[in-house]
Amino acid sequence: METQRYIIGKRDEKGFYPVKVCAIAAGTIHRRHGSWYATMPGHPVERAADRDQAAALLVARVDQGDRPTIPAPAPVTPATRIHGLRATRSYSHLMPSLRLSLANLVRSAEATARLAQLGWTPLEGYPGADQPWLMECRLCGWKGRRFWSHLRGRNGDNTPRPITRHPGCIPVADHAAALITLAAERARECGCERKHPTWISEALDALAAIQTALDGKAFMSAAIYSRSIVEPCPASTRRAEVLRAALTRRTNALKNLKNQ
Ligand SMILES: [Zn+2]
Ligand SMILES: [Zn+2]
């Protein structure tokens, strides 16, 4: 029988287990949304079916000569916050501070999804592209206001501007690895207790409910229905995609109705 070549250490308060491979601190493994992930700092996060498979991925990296390239405190991971504290808090602080309309809600979902990719968590509702937006840096915990128009990058170029996120952040050279670690939290499926739309049919339902409420001037109901769009969700990228597709479909359906 082959001897086990890794030692899984004690889980830290953020959910990461340090893994040693032949006395080398190879990285960490952690569980998120039903999957296991292996992180060797400075290398892409890898997904595995269980903890032993995740640890084995680190063994394989060590065997092929890979070593952690940045000192390895457990990576910043406020995922528990997304599913714990934030989710239990009111979502109303995340309602866009723009006129409540389907178009603005979809823009807000898109901006929030992109912010997650860039390692930012919004602390207030989407204010529009050219207004300061209060957010938290996921790489270091800094809180402050940033302009969405500066962060999102230009058309077809996903490089956020400015490249220095804010004064006092972790070194620019470490941003890419930190963002790769954060990417492991994101998912294509919403595993949340309260379901968020990740299929076009669900997005169509959500938008229809909101528009019906708005048409009836039931603004409180509209805000409640908007919850599924503005709440944090690990599948925020897919949610934004299906909402955009659903909104386009609604717009086209309305056009066809008018032309009949
Ligand atoms: Zn920062
Ligand atoms: Zn969700």
Angle at the Cα of 219 from the Cα atoms of 217 and 224, rounded to 5 degrees? 140
Instruction: Give the distance (Å) from ligand 1 centre to CA of residue 234.
Output: 20
Q: Which tens digit of pLDDT belongs to each residue from 182-227?
A: 998 889 999 898 899 999 999 999 999 999 999 999 988 898 899 9
Please say if the pLDDT value at position 22 is more than 60: yes
At residue 113, what are phi and psi to the nearest 5 degrees? -65, -45
What is Dmax (Cα atoms) for the chain?
A: 74
Instruction: Give the distance (Å) from ligand 1 centre to CA of residue 123.
Output: 15
DSSP label at residue 172: G
Q: At what angle do helices 102-118 and 175-183 cross, to 10 degrees?
A: 120
Task: Show the tokens assigned to 213.
Answer: 């409420």
Other C-beta atoms lying within 10 Å of the C-beta of residue 126 = 24
pLDDT in the model for residue 210: 95
Instruction: Give the distance (Å) from ligand 2 centre to CA of residue 50.
Output: 23
Please say if the pLDDT value at position 3 is more than 80: no
Whole-model pTM: value is 0.64
32 by Cβ neighbours in 10 Å (0-12 / 13-18 / 19+) ranks as buried
Instruction: Give the distance (Å) from ligand 1 centre to CA of residue 119.
Output: 9
Please say if the pLDDT value at position 75 is more than 80: no
- Mode of pairing for the β-strands spanning 132-137 and 143-147: antiparallel
Q: Which of 24-28, 74-78, 89-93 has the lowest mean pLDDT?
A: 74-78
Identify the CA nearest to 212 among candidates 230, 194, 225, 195: 225
Ligand with the closest atom to the CA of 146: 1
Q: What is the mean pLDDT of residues 28-46?
A: 83
Identify the CA nearest to 192 among candidates 223, 131, 236: 236
Q: What is the mean pLDDT of residues 43-52?
A: 86
Instruction: Give the distance (Å) from ligand 1 centre to CA of residue 21.
Output: 31
pLDDT in the model for residue 26: 92
CA distances from 205 to 20, 125, 210, 211, 216 (A): 49, 22, 9, 10, 17
Instruction: Give the distance (Å) from ligand 1 centre to CA of residue 40.
Output: 21
Q: For residues 27 and 38, what is the distance between their CA atoms, to the nearest angstrom? A: 7
Instruction: Give the distance (Å) from ligand 1 centre to CA of residue 146.
Output: 12
CA distances from 190 to 16, 111, 226 (A): 22, 18, 16
Using 50, 70 and 90 to split pLDDT, how confident is the model at 44?
Answer: confident
Please say if the pLDDT value at position 2 is more than 80: no
Instruction: Give the distance (Å) from ligand 1 centre to CA of residue 140.
Output: 4
Instruction: Give the distance (Å) from ligand 2 centre to CA of residue 26.
Output: 32
Instruction: Give the distance (Å) from ligand 2 centre to CA of residue 85.
Output: 15
159 by Cβ neighbours in 10 Å (0-12 / 13-18 / 19+) ranks as exposed
Instruction: Give the distance (Å) from ligand 1 centre to CA of residue 175.
Output: 9
pLDDT in the model for residue 72: 41
Report domain extents, the chain. Answer: 6-63, 79-259
- Mode of pairing for the β-strands spanning 24-32 and 132-137: unpaired
Please say if the pLDDT value at position 169 is more than 50: yes
Ligand with the closest atom to the CA of 76: 1
Instruction: Give the distance (Å) from ligand 2 centre to CA of residue 89.
Output: 15
Instruction: Give the distance (Å) from ligand 2 centre to CA of residue 225.
Output: 14
